[in-house]
Amino acid sequence: MTSPVNPASLLFSRRVLLGYGVAGTFLLPALLQSSMALAASSKAGKAQAAKPGKAPQRLVMLDPGHGGKDPGAIGVSGTYEKHISLAAAHELKRQLESNGRYRVELTRTRDVFVPLDERVARAQSKGAALFVSMHADALRDPGVRGASVYTLSNSASDAQTAALAARENSADRFGGPGFRDTPPEVARILSSLVRQETRAGSTRLAHTMVGSLDQDVPLLTNPSRHAGFVVLKAADIPSVLVEMGFMSNPRDEAELRKASHRARVATAMSRAVDAYFLAQAGVTRTSF
């Protein structure tokens, strides 16, 4: 059974904020009544459409980092991050779909450039239940290796994460003159609401992701971190960014080039997605 819709949470979705701006704050009573009616109507429609005894499949949106004219990090032997992230996302999609419990889509399915905001918009327009961005960055120190998981915050948990977020957010420099930055005042409001709306879900997902990855792959020291990643700013979708390793580290790069290692990473991430939804539903793993 799917979790009941919280009408109040709909008020703070990014779509509502962008549609009404700050003035939406003064429209809360009317929007609340409208949202409650919409939620009731949607719930009734889904109940009729769903088959008896079978819950509708949740949509998991996977986001392979970079692509096209943005190669991302370039490994010590010349491997492009964009190729690693796409290959790993396809493998995770295959594994998630194999159990029949989820629908899975990718923000890009081939080597093309997709602006950061468009990646978020695609997940929102599809009604995704989770958003998982997949990367393999590079650091100045080639000795640092291991996977890590990041959630959204106004401030970075550490200097290394701040630099990483700055590099990931700079992907939109490839977007050309059509890209416009969000005004600082609006960005602060959105960021604050995002933290309130999705922090709990994103934190739970990050916790299960770290625990699951730790069973199969090396982890970075203090692997659960946070910073202001643009791609995680979907107000209504729990979101995490997973660094599967560092292309600047010879061992990480060599492993990520192997399909067998990417499959292990995908298996760990798939377990984490299962654990997240199991905890959300309040059931035990044996229910599957």
Query: Please, which residues bridge with residue 239 across strands?
Result: 131
Backbone phi and psi for residue 32, each to the nearest 5 degrees, phi listed first? -65, -45
* Rounded Cα–Cα distance for residues 7 and 246 (Å): 41
* Rounded Cα–Cα distance for residues 19 and 181 (Å): 17
DSSP string, the chain: -PPPP-HHHHHTSHHHHHHHGGGGGGGHHHHHHHHHHHHHHHHHHHHHHSPTT-PPPEEEEEEE--BTTB---B-TTS-BHHHHHHHHHHHHHHHHHHTSSEEEEES-SSS----HHHHHHHHHHHT-SEEEEEE----S-TT---EEEEEE-SS-SSHHHHHHHHHHHGGGGGG-TT--PPPHHHHHHHHHHHHHHHHHHHHHHHHHHHHHHTTTS-EEEEEEEEE--GGG--TTS-EEEEE---TTSHHHHHHHTSHHHHHHHHHHHHHHHHHHHHHHHT--GGG-
> For residue 24, what are its two tokens?
């939406």
* Rounded Cα–Cα distance for residues 74 and 248 (Å): 8
> For residue 121, what are its two tokens?
């918009």
Pairing state of beta strands 58-64 and 102-106?
parallel
- What is the per-residue pLDDT for 187? 60
Please, what's the largest Cα pairwise distance for the chain?
58
Long-range CB contact pairs, 190-194, < 8 A, 24+: 190/14, 190/17, 190/233, 190/235, 191/152, 191/154, 191/228, 191/233, 192/154, 193/12, 193/17, 193/235, 194/14, 194/152, 194/233, 194/234, 194/235
Long-range CB contact pairs, 47-54, < 8 A, 24+: none
Q: Which residues, 6+ apart, have CB-to-CB distance to 282 below 8 Å? A: none
Reading the chain (288 residues) residue by residue, the pLDDT tens digits are 444 444 444 333 433 333 333 333 333 333 334 444 444 444 444 444 444 456 678 999 999 999 999 999 999 999 999 999 999 999 999 999 998 999 999 999 999 999 988 998 999 999 999 999 999 999 999 999 999 999 887 655 556 655 655 655 555 444 443 434 556 665 665 556 555 657 789 999 999 999 999 999 999 988 988 777 787 877 688 999 999 999 999 999 999 999 999 999 999 999 999 999 999 887 544 444
Q: How far apart are the first and last CA of the chain?
A: 13
Residue ranges per domain, the chain? 1-53, 57-287
Q: Which CATH class is domain 57-287?
A: alpha beta
- What is the per-residue pLDDT for 164? 55
Contact between residue 148 and residue 160 where contact means Cβ atoms under 8 Å apart: no
- What is the per-residue pLDDT for 156? 53
* Rounded Cα–Cα distance for residues 225 and 229 (Å): 11
